[in-house]
Amino acid sequence: MIKRNVARGTAGLAALLLTSATLTACGGGQSEAPAGGGDASPPAAGEPEKTELTVGVLPLADLAPFFLAIEDGLFEDEGLQVEANVASGGAAQIAAMVAGDLDLTYSNYVSVLEARGEGLPLQIVRENNRSGPQGIYAMPDSGITDPAALEGRSIAVNSLGNIQELTARAVLESHGVDPASLEFVELPPADMPAALEEGHVDAAWLVEPFITLATGTSDAKRIVSAFEGPTENLPVAGWVATEQFVAENPNTVAAFVRAMDEAMRIAVDEPERLEEIIPTYTSITPELVTQLNPPGLAEDSDLSDLDTLQDLMVEQGIIEEGVDLEAVVVDRDELPQA
């Protein structure tokens, strides 16, 4: 089952690559630009090259700083008008960005490194969140009471071959479960609590606010943390653009990063602000938002340990070989300084 699921994920990335190549050949979309900048000096700070941005997001608690930046006018302070494009899965957002419908998007790094290995010119411009309260949950009457009981079971993840599948496989293997016995079922995060309750899957990899919804309405129980042992403090997700967008819009990217820096600072220093923001873009009520587990926000963006994630991807067979990580991560020092 694992081989079938991984093959499906690779086929999806190949389809994205074909879409990108077709758009480039037709003169549309975004073409690849070389990474790293060569001998060119960092561009001087100035007005954003593009001021109106459409950004791909998911309805997750981890994205509260982004919506806080909109609410507090932090993007506007940097000369940007930002519109959020909310979708149920990250793969669709990457496809939309490659097609030129989005300027930047939120994505987990496993999907980014997979796409990069398939030839898609994606770059990470800022870290957003690391390991947090996420975990694998099951219903009390499922007979699943410990990680070993997940052997041969089905687990819902939001995309096949992404950070959720990787961490589930690695963590459960550390508990003696054979990853090859697992069946991963692709579901939008918002559909996972109902799928658990109705018995469509044995377990689900849950993130807030769906942890609180599932445990509050159906008594779902955590079986194991998604981030322990081999996955502890693993880089998880951040903000991504294409190489061409970064190369052609360095002031815009720098402005976006500065706004997110300030939003992260506020989110960390004033956590009560998150309780105000999260109900505005998720299905969770103001009453339930106070029960959410705090997200693992990255106040400081530092992806110097991204190789740890990539090594785990190779070990778990998500990818066959690694990519050049220096080309994947945008060096903040090479962006225009305010």
pLDDT at position 45: 67
Q: What is the pLDDT of residue 20?
A: 41
pLDDT of residue 46: 87
Residue 42: predicted pLDDT = 55
Question: Per-10-residue mean pLDDT for the chain, 338 residues long?
Answer: 34 43 36 41 77 95 96 98 86 88 96 93 96 94 96 95 94 97 94 95 95 89 96 94 97 98 96 93 86 90 94 94 95 89
Domains and CATH numbers, the chain: 2-131+235-334 (3.40.190.10), 135-231 (3.40.190.10)
Please check whether residue 167 is in contact with residue 231, taking contact to mean a CB–CB distance below 8 angstroms: yes
> How many other C-beta atoms are found inside a 10 Å radius of the C-beta of residue 161?
28
Q: What pTM did the predictor assign?
A: 0.83
Sign of the alpha-carbon dihedral angle for 308, 309, 310, 316: positive
Question: What angle in degrees, to the nearest 10, is found between the helix axes of 250-269 and 64-71?
Answer: 100
- Write the DSSP string, 71-135: HTTHHHHTT-EEEEEE-S-HHHHHHHHHTTS-SEEEEEHHHHHHHHHTT--EEEEEEEEES-S-E
* pLDDT of res. 44: 62
- Between CA 323 and CA 140 the distance in angstroms is 42
Residue type, position 286, single letter: P
Whole-number Å distance between alpha carbons of 108 and 14: 18
Selection from 154, 135, 308, 325 nearest residue 222 by Cα: 135
Write down the residue that tokens 């990063």 correspond to: 257
**From CA 151, how far away is CA 128, in angstroms rounded?**
32
Q: Tokens at residue 262, please?
A: 């300030």
Both tokens of 212, joined, read 């609180």
With tokens 């093959």, the residue in question is 7
